[in-house]
Chain A
Amino acid sequence: MSKTTQAPKALRGVGNFIDDRFHLAKTGEKNLRKVFPNHWSFMLGEIALYSFIILLLSGVFLTLWFKPSMMEIVYDGSYERLQGVPMSEAFASTLHIDFDVRGGFLMRQIHHWAALIFVASLVVHMLRVFFTGAFRKPREINWLIGVAIFTLAMVEGLFGYSLPDDLPSGMGVRILQGVMLALPLVGSYVSMFLFGGEFPGEDIITRLYMLHVLLIPAILLGLIVAHFMILWHQKHTQYPGQGRTDKKVVGTPMFPAFAVKAGGFFFFTFAVIAGLSAFVQINPIHLFGPFTPTSITSGLQPDWYMGFMEGSLRIFPNTLDFTIPIGAGYPVMTAVLVPGLVVPGLIFGALGAWPFIEQWITGDKRAHNVADRPRNAPVRTGLGVAGIVFYGVLWLAGSNDILSETFSIDLYLTTYIFRVLAIAGPVVGYVVTKRICLGLQRRDRETLEHGYESGVIQQLPSGEFIEVHKENSAETTHVLESKPVITSTALEEPETDDKGVENPAARKGMGRLRRALAHWYTKDNVSFDGVEAHSGHHLHHGAEHQDH
């Protein structure tokens, strides 16, 4: 923007009219010039936003014809194979969307593929935020909102999956009811309340429909708007680099450059979803056929984002159920209760609590606007990978019958393998990741001291061969030097004061726990103390060359 040009007179007129009344020019100018840091991993959340917009639009299209009714009718639409088959109005109207509404089949597939991409992008976005420490103060509230969006998105997806009343829908609802029934005391009441009687009853589709198109999307939309307003207010985090500090953002202004990129990215997201929908068949309800309570089939799973719940149900041992001997006996179904409610509760509870736990351990109350490089927070990165491994093992276990058939492994053997992996995998993942992080830190220190390997081999007069190292760019040097030192206030307080009296905070249980955790969180770290950039030997080759 080197020279200022006058806007056309007509535009100026309209602009002045609005500005005289709302005084928007100043706010508009400020917000349009707002700067966004540039990195591909900062675009992951946008994928979620765009697929949510696609979900809203395609969902509205589908509601124009979908009938959320369980009234039984005999199908006589244009899909010949199922003519004369009794089915619910919900299933029949979905067939109507597929085969009688112009573009209906494509729109249904767009809606379904967009849902899969939406939740997947939520996951990768969340992982990016976690591993870069972007959830730290001042962004804890936004992190909690994100966790809520993720949870609601899963429920929203499950309910949407249940609406067409096809074979997998009914099976999914049946599992949902099973988990409800396992709730101690209130289980059967909750189930009777939701279904309006026994399974499947005549109300469930209508009720899930209301939740799926009205209540949950409204909450989701509200949370997403809040997520963005907070982001806008607090500004985006950025990776370390020259000129980037906790007080200064470097990036692309909102208008025009970032807006153009983001707009283009929306169309690309849409293109991928539409391309999948046009060529790859998803959830073919016309092939599945309608649900009846007597029907059951192998090889069907929930959509991927419910896979970890399915997996935890499949691998949890069934020998821990017990009966409370009151009256006729009161059975507690731990084999459903624990995997169906406790496991997801733990996963999402840990996600929500982590920013506060980390803050409690380190005592770090500063605001952070520069993101961490994952290697520079080895314990956090290790824990994140442990979480991914745990989730991933459960997720794989959810498809154990498909894996068993595809790779010719004994089905029971897969269960035992996944049980072991669900416990051992996260531990191994944590240890390996932490070691990799420390190794990368060591390499960073070496690069900082010696520069980078240039790939040029030089022969010295003495006959020795050496590789020439070159100086890092100023940017690289800055990034490497900006490695934060992980400390905790818990360890700064001495255990005893100068009169030999024990620190009261360190004596109590919580205080001791905090000190132990702080020690564990900070102990392994490659120190950059006293390291000066390019002070290593490789840069100044002389006769006294030393080996490293």
Chain B
Amino acid sequence: MKWITARRRHPLAGYVVVILALALFGVGFAALAPTSDEARAQTLSAEVPDPEDVDVANGKAIFDQTCASCHNYDGSGMYAEDDEGDLVVTNGPDLREVGSAALDFQVSTGRMPSMDPDSQMPRKPMAISEQDLVDLIAYYDEEIRTDGRGADIPFDVPGDAPQAADFEDEASYEAALEEYEGEYDAYIEGADDVDMGMKLYLTNCAHCHSWSGGGGALTDGRWAPEIHDSTPREIYEAMVSGPGAMPMFSDGVITPEEKQELISYVKTLQAEPNAGGIFDLERVGQVAEGFIGWTVGLSLIIACAIWITAKQRAHD
């Protein structure tokens, strides 16, 4: 304590206290805040469900409880006429022709059920269990979907990695993980035409999601989300269903093979190490570089200028 007492009136003491307090809050926040790993912990790699495991009645119960208040009991949505006699969505849009891929995308990324139909939903942990989602999709396919319109879930594209918490023992988890990684690698590395993937991505996706997949701002307060947490299957489903402001890229516009190249390009770029240094500035680019150039680079040099001119000898 004597050490502190002696120095507490030092000119720099105030700054030291502020820095320590900031560090404490920063570390504390980092320790307590939920990480993205936890946030996506619950889902299982969904495969084509066995008809015997599906409970359509449970799916109906979930739909009526969590979806129908906006999308109506028959999935026809809620519309009203505006001043000019056009139909506009009041709560939720018509679901009957969107297809199960759209439903799987919206629910598995936690965007649905939504609290506020007027604002864009961020990615969140899924609100219902994996089994409930399977039941819900089965109910949708049987009762609500019209003539099988819209895109189906692409079950051959890898989804979420299995999580240890969902398995009873270590061995079965590791087996599932190994199987998943095999599938994932086969899907990603099966596509090796970087030129095609890059051209497709930079022509169709990058103007909203940015070159790095980090997302970007859109008009009217909306934004294009970061796609780093998305599984290949979610990216695929987003392309075929066109959620929110995103246009739809059906399999006729971009073929499944091209989609594989595109997804492979995104995932490979994301996994690419940062050869330029350990601080990648979140791959934000020039704005972050300029900020660091001023706040770290130039500030340090000026601090040095202040330091070397501070002490003067009388005779020189």
B284 x A410 contact (CB < 8 A): no
B289:A300 contact, CB within 8 angstroms: no
Query: What separation, in Å, do the CA atoms of A98 and B221 have in the docked complex?
Result: 39
A40, A292, A399: the one contacting B287 at CB < 8 Å is: A399
Q: CB within 8 A of A120: which of B208, B221, B293?
A: B293
Chain B 184-211 interface mask (CB, 8 Å, partner A; 1/0): 0000000001110011001100111111
Contact B283 A279 (CB under 8 A): no
Query: Which of B223, B272, B310 sits near A405, CB closer than 8 Å?
Result: B223
Contact A109 B276 (CB under 8 A): yes
A281-B279, A304-B286 known; A272+B199 contact, CB < 8 A: no
Across the interface, do B308 and A299 meet the contact criterion of CB distance under 8 Å? no
Dominant SS among interface residues on chain B: helix
Tell me the complex Cα distance, A371–B219, Å. 49
0/1 string, A284-308, CB within 8 A of B gives 1: 1011110010111111111110010
Least Cβ–Cβ distance between B214 and chain A, in angstroms: 7
B195 / chain A contacts, CB cutoff of 8 Å:
84-86
CB of B219 within 8 A of CB of A40, answer: no
User: Quick check: A297 and B210 within 8 Å, CB to CB?
Assistant: yes
Residue A245 lies at the interface, judged by CB distance under 8 Å to chain B: no
A292 to B199, CA, bound (A): 8
Other-chain contact of A304, B278, B294, B304 (Cβ < 8 Å): B294
Of A261-269, A323-331, A442-450, A516-524, the segment with at least 4 beta carbons within 8 Å of chain B is A261-269
CB < 8 Å: which of A167, A269, A399, A411 contacts B218?
A411
**Which residues of A lie under 8 Å from residue B203 when comparing CB positions?**
294-296
Is the Cβ of A47 less than 8 Å from the Cβ of B298? yes
Q: Which of A44, A113, A288, A401 contacts B217 (CB 8 A)?
A: A401
Contact of B268 among A81, A83, A265 (CB under 8 A): A81
Q: Considering the chains assembled together, what is the distance between the CA atoms of A269 and B298 in angstroms?
A: 9
Contact with B along A103-117 (1 / 0, CB 8 A): 001000100010011
CB of A304 within 8 A of CB of B289, answer: yes
What's the Cα separation between A116 and B292 when bound, in Å?
Answer: 10
Known: A116-B297, A282-B289. A124 touches B302 (CB 8 A): yes
**A299-B292 contact in complex given A38-B312, A121-B298, C-beta closer than 8 Å:** no
Main secondary structure on chain A at its contact with chain B? helix
Kindly state whether residue B285 has any CB partner on chain A within 8 Å: yes
Interchain CB contact (< 8 A) of B309 among A39, A268, A295, A404: A39
Q: Within the complex, what minimum Cβ distance (angstroms) separates B258 from chain A?
A: 15
User: B305–A105 contact, CB under 8 A?
Assistant: no
Cβ–Cβ contact A109 & B277, under 8 A:
yes
The answer to whether B279 touches A304, judged by C-beta atoms less than 8 angstroms apart, is: no
In whole angstroms, how far apart are the Cα atoms of A455 and B304 in the complex? 31
Residues of B within 8 A of A264 (CB): 308
* Interface flags, A239-269, vs B, CB<8A=1, else 0: 0000000000000110001000100110011
Closest to B316 in A: A257
Q: With A40-B306, A282-B289 as given contacts, are A295 and B206 in contact (CB-CB < 8 Å)? A: yes
B290 near A304: Cβ-Cβ < 8 Å: yes
Which residues of the other chain, A, contact B214 by a CB distance below 8 angstroms? 299
**Is the pair B286, A168 in contact by a Cβ cutoff of 8 Å?**
yes
* B209, B284, B285 interface centre (most CB from chain A within 10 Å): B285
Q: Does B5 contact A (CB under 8 A)?
A: no
- Residues on the A chain within 8 Å of B313, using CB: 257
Query: Which of A29-64 touch B at CB < 8 Å?
Result: 38-44, 46-47
Residues of B within 8 A of A268 (CB): 301, 304, 308
Q: Are A44 and B286 in contact (CB under 8 A)?
A: no
B311 to chain A, nearest CB (A): 10
Contact at A120–B294, with CB atoms within 8 Å? yes
Beta-carbon contacts under 8 Å, A72-127 to B: 81-86, 98-99, 105, 109, 113, 116-117, 120-121, 124
B: contact size bracket: 35 or more
A412 within 8 A of B: yes
Let me know if A278 is at the binding interface, CB within 8 A. yes
Q: Is A533 an interface residue (CB 8 A)?
A: no
Q: Which of A261, A276, A289, A292 contacts B296 (CB 8 A)?
A: A276
Query: Chain B residues with Cβ under 8 A from A214's Cβ?
Result: none
With A298-B210, A301-B285 in contact, do A113 and B297 touch (Cβ < 8 Å)?
yes
Bound complex: CA of A105 vs CA of B211, how far in Å?
21
Enumerate chain B residues within 8 angstroms of A301, measured Cβ to Cβ: 285-287, 290
- Given known pairs A120-B297, A301-B285, the reply for A276 and B216 (CB within 8 Å) is no
A7 at the interface (CB under 8 A from B): no
Min C-beta distance of A253 to chain B, whole Å: 7
Tell me the bound Cα distance from A109 to B293 in angstroms. Answer: 12
Contact B297 A117 (CB under 8 A): yes
Contact A299 B211 (CB under 8 A): yes
Tell me the chain A residues, 5-42 only, with Cβ under 8 Å from chain B.
38-42
CA A327 to CA B223, docked complex, whole Å: 44
Contact B309–A288 (Cβ < 8 Å): no
Interface string of B252-281 (1 = CB under 8 A from A): 000000000000000011001011111111
Contacts of B194 in A (CB 8 A): 81-85
Determine the residue in chain A with the shortest Cβ distance to B279.
A280
Give bound CA distance, A304 to B203, whole Å.
26
Residues of B within 8 A of A303 (CB): 286, 289-290
> CA A41 – CA B308 in complex, angstroms?
11
Q: Is the CB of A298 within 8 A of B216?
A: yes
Q: Does B168 contact A (CB under 8 A)?
A: no
| 16 cross-chain CB contacts under 8 A | A43-B309, A44-B305, A261-B309, A279-B277, A280-B281, A294-B199, A295-B203, A296-B202, A296-B207, A297-B210, A299-B210, A301-B286, A401-B216, A405-B223, A411-B217, A412-B219
Given A280-B289, A405-B223, output 13 extra A-B contacts at Cβ < 8 Å.
Answer: A40-B305, A276-B292, A276-B293, A280-B277, A280-B279, A281-B277, A287-B272, A294-B203, A296-B206, A296-B207, A297-B206, A298-B206, A299-B214
> 9 tightest CB-CB pairs across the interface, nearest first?
A304-B290, A281-B276, A298-B216, A297-B206, A299-B210, A295-B202, A116-B293, A404-B217, A410-B221
A residues near B, CB below 8 A?
38-44, 46-47, 81-86, 98-99, 105, 109, 113, 116-117, 120-121, 124, 167-168, 252-253, 257, 261, 264-265, 268-269, 272-273, 276-284, 286-289, 292, 294-304, 307, 399-402, 404-405, 408, 410-413
Interfacial residues, chain B to chain A (CB-CB below 8 A): 193-195, 198-199, 202-203, 206-212, 214-221, 223-224, 268-269, 272, 274-281, 283-287, 289-294, 296-298, 300-302, 304-306, 308-310, 312-313, 316
